[in-house]
Amino acid sequence: MVFLTPLIAIPLIGLALIAALAAFVFLWQRAHEQPLRPSDLAWMLPGVVALVMASVVCGLDLYENGEDVISLVSLDLAALLQAACALLRRRLLDALDRRDQIGGRTRFLSEAARVGIALLALASAIALGRLALELPWNSDELFGIKAFNSFLELAIIAGLLALLYLLFQRRGAGIALGVGALFVTGLAQFFVANFKGAPILPNDLLVLGTAAAVSGTYTYSVDSHVVQGLTCAVLAMAPCALVAPSRIRDRYELAGNVGGNLLGAFMVASCLWAGLTVPDYFEDLGVKMQYWTPLPYYKWQGFLPTFVAVAQDIPVEKPQGYTPEGAAEVESEYVAAYDAGRGSSASRAAAEQQFSSMRPSIVCIMNETFADLSYLYDGLGVGYEGPAFYRQLQSSALSTGSLAVSVRGAGTCNTEFEFLTGSPLAYVGDGKYPYSLYSLTDVPSLPRQLAELGYETTAMHPNLATNWSRDKVYPALGFDEFLDIDDFEGAPGFHSGVTDGATYDKVLEILRSSSEPQFIFDVTMQNHSSYGQRNIPAEQLRGYTIPGLDPNLSGDVNEYLACIDASDRDLQAFIEELSQLERPVIVVFFGDHQPNFADTLVEALYPAETAFQQAVRSYPTTYSIWANYDVAGSVPGTWQSASPADLASMALEIAGAPLTDYEKTQLVARESMPALSLVGLQTADGTWHGTGDPGAGENAMQAYEDLALVHYLERAEHLE
């Protein structure tokens, strides 16, 4: 809806002035028989497009800083300067061409002038291009970045722009294109930081389709810093209009120029590639990163140096001292410990016998953004008691507790990857989306394991099959069937998509349609962000005013809690149906991550806690393992921490299913290290430590190092 705020007048005035300037120059040059060329007019586009964008933003009331008109006026002036350079371009280049024809010293001076203009444009583009990249999202920390990191970022930008300049045969269009790309990156980072509280990571570039598919629920408003970044980009493009090589006199000169420019581009590209790959940005250049809170590090160090450092970290690191033989020996020791201990207990023997005779179906529900904030945040400071039925279910669950996930606000596929493969992201590394990065065809997986036991395997997600490449990943992991959004045509919706209940109806339909044991993996959708949609009836909202939060964000929290309540109602109906079903079923229910406002929430409620303590609180979700029959050897209501990577092992052990050597290793390691994530590790007494913290104790650190070796042997070696 267009509100036509008064601010729209500012960019419209700029457009009118550019039109008037263009008309004047056009008439003047026509009178002097010097008509404008299409290329000259094309150079006006950056400023015009910038003002059109500003007009749309203001017209739709998407400009957050209505009181800041200076930024909009500055954009007008930058666009006018850019248009002036575009309109004066032909006169300057023609003058230089006439001097080229004279030859001798005059031609040399003309060429020197061209080089000087190019160097000026390039230098301006490097400085202003960095501002166009950083200002939209990093205005608060930009001028506090250490000198070395600033130099490093400027050097990377210089290499990129010089490369484009030479590839475009020494024309300013290459530099302008690079500056435009820098601003677009800064704008994208602005939205990602606002929506997810996270930076753009290297593998985000591999999942742009998924990001686009789930981005429709966000409001794309901008602030004055975005306008300032756009202004810098337009200013940088102004002198680029004046950059062009001398006219080519014959084909031999053409071949020489093209060849020389390409040779120069190759040399610049080689130096740039060496600068991006040879030094280790973490070890050699001092770039830092804590993956559980990456955005501040991007701000403190600059976007490009930090992005490159994370990109270098993508390959799965081999554990220190790893050899296949040594890892296999460690694994055999853990397997022997399991077989001699919990594996030989009477409860395990009873569970194994029961599983063999009953072969229960296993339903795993990864519920979108489901987290019980009541215990994670002590009632949110308002006495919130959590989802009522889920809290009741925990008392009868075979195992329940907090789940140490490694993502927050987004990254569903990574929790999914951990659960289905048993591979902890703590060993794979952050900034990585294995679904998009690796081939999983040869990786051991839960669906493949259960299929070998005679289970029919089905995955379902009521959204596009291509999201996170699930249409390729699920078959690679061993699923027989995948139900996507096309299989939920006509299904009811809530908030951001198909209801949880609609997916549970599909689960029940599958369970009732075949007598064979089923493994069903259900990834729900309805609770997906954003939580500013205001599309939930008022009577379903709790109406809390959260201490320390502004009213708008409190509204987001209430919208989220209403989604959790809806999930709770659907879960209750599903469990009641399963309770009446005449076949044994085990349900593994867990949330994939906390909501995207978790970082703001924890800062508001616990400002005195350290960043690590806040991360320990703002990352975990919750899980419960429940069955509609009495499982032999189990004690209902058992509370214990878990991680997505070992949750399947826990469920299989409880059910009495056969276990792999890797799963036995996980279960023994859990005795000293109950939970593990990118945040850190939990020790047996429930305390969290960084994975390199010697305070974790010898037992936990030994379990961490041993599991790293076995993981590399059993999982990482198979990632291609």
Q: How confident is the model at residue 216 (pLDDT cuts 50, 70, 90)?
A: low
Condensed to tens digits (0 to 9), the pLDDT of residues 538-594 reads 999 999 999 999 999 999 999 999 999 999 999 999 999 999 999 999 999 999 999
Instruction: Inform me whether the pLDDT recorded for 398 exceeds 70.
Output: yes
- Name the burial class of residue 639, with classes exposed (0-12), middle (13-18) and buried (19+) by CB atoms within 10 angstroms of its CB: exposed
Condensed to tens digits (0 to 9), the pLDDT of residues 594-644 reads 999 999 999 999 999 999 999 999 999 999 999 999 999 998 989 999 999
Whether 117 contacts 89, CB under 8 Å: no
> What local confidence, expressed as pLDDT, does residue 413 receive?
93
For residue 183, which of 207, 161, 208 has the smallest C-alpha distance? 161
For residues 336-344, average pLDDT: 96
User: CB neighbours (10 Å) of residue 577?
Assistant: 16
CA atoms within 13 A on the CB side of 100: 15
Condensed to tens digits (0 to 9), the pLDDT of residues 70-90 reads 999 999 999 999 988 888 887
> What local confidence, expressed as pLDDT, does residue 646 receive?
97
> What local confidence, expressed as pLDDT, does residue 426 receive?
95
Q: What is the mean pLDDT of the chain?
A: 91
Residues in Cβ contact with 408 at an 8 Å cutoff, skipping those fewer than 6 apart: 197, 198, 292, 593, 594, 596, 598, 599, 618, 619
For residue 621, which of 428, 427, 398, 374 has the smallest C-alpha distance? 374
> What local confidence, expressed as pLDDT, does residue 432 receive?
82
> What local confidence, expressed as pLDDT, does residue 95 receive?
72
Name beta bridge partners: 689. Answer: 681
User: What class does CATH assign to 324-718?
Assistant: alpha beta
Condensed to tens digits (0 to 9), the pLDDT of residues 265-321 reads 999 999 999 999 999 999 999 999 876 678 899 999 999 999 999 888 878 889 999
Condensed to tens digits (0 to 9), the pLDDT of residues 138-175 reads 999 999 999 999 999 999 999 999 999 999 999 999 99
The percent of residues above 90 in pLDDT, for the chain, comes to: 75
Please state whether the peptide bond connecting residue 124 to the residue before it is cis, i.e. omega within 30 degrees of 0. no
Instruction: Inform me whether the pLDDT recorded for 206 exceeds 90.
Output: no
Q: What is the torsion angle, in degrees rounded to the nearest 10, for the CA atoms of residue 390, residue 394, residue 395 and residue 397?
A: 130
> What local confidence, expressed as pLDDT, does residue 470 receive?
92
Return the domain boundaries, the chain: 6-204+223-245+259-312, 324-718
User: CB neighbours (10 Å) of residue 27?
Assistant: 10
> What local confidence, expressed as pLDDT, does residue 1 receive?
41
Condensed to tens digits (0 to 9), the pLDDT of residues 638-679 reads 999 999 999 999 999 999 999 999 999 999 999 999 999 999
